[in-house]
Amino acid sequence: MPEKKQESFTVTDRRLFTSDGEVRTEAPQEEVTAVKAEATAPAPASQPVQGEREMPPAPTAAEQQEQADAYRKSAKDLDTRVELSGHSAKELEMTFERFIASLYMTAMLQLGLMHEQGGQPRIDLIGARQTIDTLSLLSEKTKGNLTNAEQTFLQNCLYELRMAYVEVTNALARPPQATGTDSVKP
């Protein structure tokens, strides 16, 4: 029987850091030096801090003005078409209450407590949690800047959604209950 020739190869770990985040001592010196220089040098104002994503430069004031003018013109054209169709353009105006109501409806859909007409309810607990957390974030960030009516509306929406979230998650955690028709007769 012929002998099989065994081939060998060498694996070289070129990672610069250990699993603990320390610089590896056996890493090639030139690479480690470059990384140390980057890690110890203070980040210039235009460079992102470690862990942050690099952001594109902000548009110039002229670019922002041009974009805002184009948006207003487009919105005005749409408003004109809506008015010609016999509806009020005020129905399209975004208010704080409409924004909160939109997030409320989204969360109710995600909890499966509402669904499109003729459609089946679908549950997205992670999405619902993120939407509720978004409303909570808005509540914190707008503290002191809302009218009493806006604050009350936001707090009522948050209360109802949190209660609905708890009810849905509790219902999903419970095992299905046997009904009288499903039981086996002796």
Whether residue 182 is contained in a domain is answered as no
Whether residue 43 is contained in a domain is answered as no
Whether residue 19 is contained in a domain is answered as no
Domain match, 88 and 136 both:
no
Q: Would you say 156 and 148 are in contact if contact means Cβ atoms under 8 Å apart? A: no
Domain match, 88 and 143 both:
no
Whether residue 79 is contained in a domain is answered as yes
Whether residue 116 is contained in a domain is answered as yes
Domain match, 104 and 154 both:
yes
Identify the weakest region by mean pLDDT among 3-17, 26-40, 82-96, 148-162. Answer: 26-40
Whether residue 148 is contained in a domain is answered as yes
C-beta atoms surrounding 11 within 10 Å: 5
Whether residue 20 is contained in a domain is answered as no
pLDDT of residue 45: 54
Q: To which residue do tokens 């009516």 refer?
A: 149
Q: Would you say 152 and 96 are in contact if contact means Cβ atoms under 8 Å apart? A: no
Q: Report the pLDDT averaged over residues 104-117.
A: 93
At 24-80, the pLDDT tens digits run 666 554 444 444 444 455 555 555 556 677 888 999 999 999 999 999 999 999 999
> How far does CA 33 lie from the centroid of its chain?
38
Domain match, 128 and 150 both:
yes
Please name every residue paired with 18 in a beta bridge, in sequence order, or none if there are none: none
Q: Which residues of 34-56 are buried (b: 16+ CB within 10 A; e: fewer)?
A: eeeeeeeeeeeeeeeeeeeeeee
183 to each of 14, 91, 171, how far by Cα in Å?
64, 54, 21
Domain match, 132 and 160 both:
yes
Model pTM greater than 0.85?
A: no
Q: Report the pLDDT averaged over residues 1-10.
A: 63
Domain match, 101 and 163 both:
yes
Domain match, 99 and 167 both:
yes
pLDDT of residue 42: 52
Nearest by Cα to 172 from 133, 123, 131, 127: 123
**Number of domains forming the structure of the chain:** 2
Domain match, 118 and 146 both:
yes
Q: How many residues does the chain have?
A: 186
Whether residue 26 is contained in a domain is answered as no
Measured between alpha carbons, how far is 130 from 132 in angstroms, rounded to an integer? 5
pLDDT of residue 181: 58
At 111-152, the pLDDT tens digits run 999 888 888 889 999 999 999 999 999 999 999 999 999 999
Percent of the chain past pLDDT 70, that is, above it, reads 67
**From its phi and psi, is residue 32 left (phi > 0), alpha (psi between -120 and 50) or beta?**
alpha
pLDDT above 70 for 12: no
Domain match, 83 and 129 both:
no
Please name every residue paired with 17 in a beta bridge, in sequence order, or none if there are none: 23
Range of the domain at 146: 95-173
Domain match, 87 and 117 both:
no
Measured between alpha carbons, how far is 48 from 53 in angstroms, rounded to an integer? 6
Q: To which residue do tokens 């056996």 refer?
A: 26
Could you tell me which residues come within 8 angstroms of residue 168 by beta carbon, excluding any fewer than 6 positions away? 111, 112, 113, 123, 125, 128
Domain match, 77 and 110 both:
no
Give 182 or 18, the one with higher predicted confidence: 18
At 70-85, the pLDDT tens digits run 999 999 999 999 899 8
Domain match, 103 and 168 both:
yes
pLDDT of residue 66: 94
